[in-house]
Amino acid sequence: MPHANNALPASLHIVTPLLRSTSFSARLGRSVWFKMEALQPPGSFKARGIGHACQTYKEWGAKRLVCSSGGNAGIAVAYSGRLLGVPVTVVVPETTSAAARERIAAEGAELVVYGRAWSEANDHALSLMRPEYAFIHPFDDPLLWEGHATMIDEVAAAGVKPGAVVLSVGGGGLLCGVLAGLERNGWHDVPVIAAETVGADSYAASLAAGAQVELPAITSIATSLGARSPCAKALEWSKVHSIVSEVVTDKEAVGACLRFLAEHRIVVEPACGAALAALERKPAAVTAASDVLVIVCGGAGATAEQLQAWDRGA
């Protein structure tokens, strides 16, 4: 049974802590607030949007949830399906790590390994679709954005209005959710710093071009940011809200993860380290704010040992 009392909570994600970091605040010379999405049970903020999408598709009659991510999206779909009592199929390529496969299987999902690259796994997942199934996209679905937006509602409810928000961008689902949250709380004037790593910087490239750009390949270790092109909605937001791009190196992202681990004792992926590293660069939008909100998006795909190995250049 997913829950002892057999009753489902209103939402599948948890309300996360909002921490004012003493060490980061002292170093940055302003209040640095961490929204601790790393503490969501499946390990990342994806619990919010994917939880909301899975719950909605179940209400609409979905008999199975299908997804093609071996990363945090796959884990969040598997987790959500287990809580909802809806079967889940996750199709991953052969390159998906044993640790990720185990995590998905441990949530009770059916794991299918297919193809050498994600695109082949995704095509296979689509071929498994039936009219009564729901396909869960990792970032490009308004239901996801609606779910992610709840993290900003929680910050508003805590009585903290940031002067800037720093977050990581992969396909832009988190960005679209945070912007929806800022807008619905009346925070139209709060700029967003969109962090990526070199080699996964499809949003920076798209902003510069003024249109969706597709990268030829992803070369960053921050694989959770590895969308070759961002969703269209992420580009649309940049026309109506102040969004500043900040591209950091893998080394900066890993260094920021290690500093966060040392100071806050929590492991996060380089995908999340990108936002922490962008903060450390003190872009103008950060230095203009007395309170800065950083979305600590988390990620289940890293260990302390691996962060140290990356840092040594292994």
Ligand X SMILES: *Cc1c(COP(=O)(O)O)cnc(C)c1O
Determine the Cα angle at 159 with ends 43 and 42, to 5°.
10
Least distance in angstroms from the C-beta of 271 to ligand X: 4
Q: How many angstroms separate the CA atoms of 240 and 89, rounded?
A: 37
Determine if 64 is a binding residue for ligand X (CB under 6 A). Answer: no
Query: Which residue in 172, 181, 273, 283 binds ligand X (CB under 6 A)?
Result: 172
Determine if 118 is a binding residue for ligand X (CB under 6 A). Answer: no
Least distance in angstroms from the C-beta of 153 to ligand X: 18
Q: How many angstroms separate the CA atoms of 158 and 161, rounded?
A: 9
Residue with tokens 């299908």: 66
Span near ligand X by CB under 6 A; candidates 84-92, 129-137, 169-177, 183-191: 169-177
3-state secondary structure 140-156: CCHHHHHHHCHHHHHHH
Pick 130 or 265: Cβ nearer ligand X: 265
- Residues from 202 through 231 that contact ligand X (CB under 6 A): 224-225, 227
The arrangement of strands across the sheet holding 64-67 comes to: 110-113, 88-92, 64-67, 133-135
Query: Which residue in 47, 195, 272, 277 binds ligand X (CB under 6 A)?
Result: 272
Q: How many angstroms separate the CA atoms of 32 and 293, rounded?
A: 6
Least distance in angstroms from the C-beta of 40 to ligand X: 10
Pick 267 or 271: Cβ nearer ligand X: 271
Q: How many angstroms separate the CA atoms of 233 and 175, rounded?
A: 9
- Residues from 280 through 299 that contact ligand X (CB under 6 A): 297-299
Residue 238 backbone dihedrals phi, psi, to 5 degrees = -65, -15
Determine if 201 is a binding residue for ligand X (CB under 6 A). Answer: no
Least distance in angstroms from the C-beta of 99 to ligand X: 15
- Residues from 237 through 256 that contact ligand X (CB under 6 A): none
Applying CB under 6 A, the site for ligand X has a residue count of 21
Residue 182 backbone dihedrals phi, psi, to 5 degrees = -60, -45
Q: Where do contacts with ligand X occur on this chain (CB under 6 A)? A: 44, 46, 72, 139, 168-175, 224-225, 227, 269, 271-272, 297-299
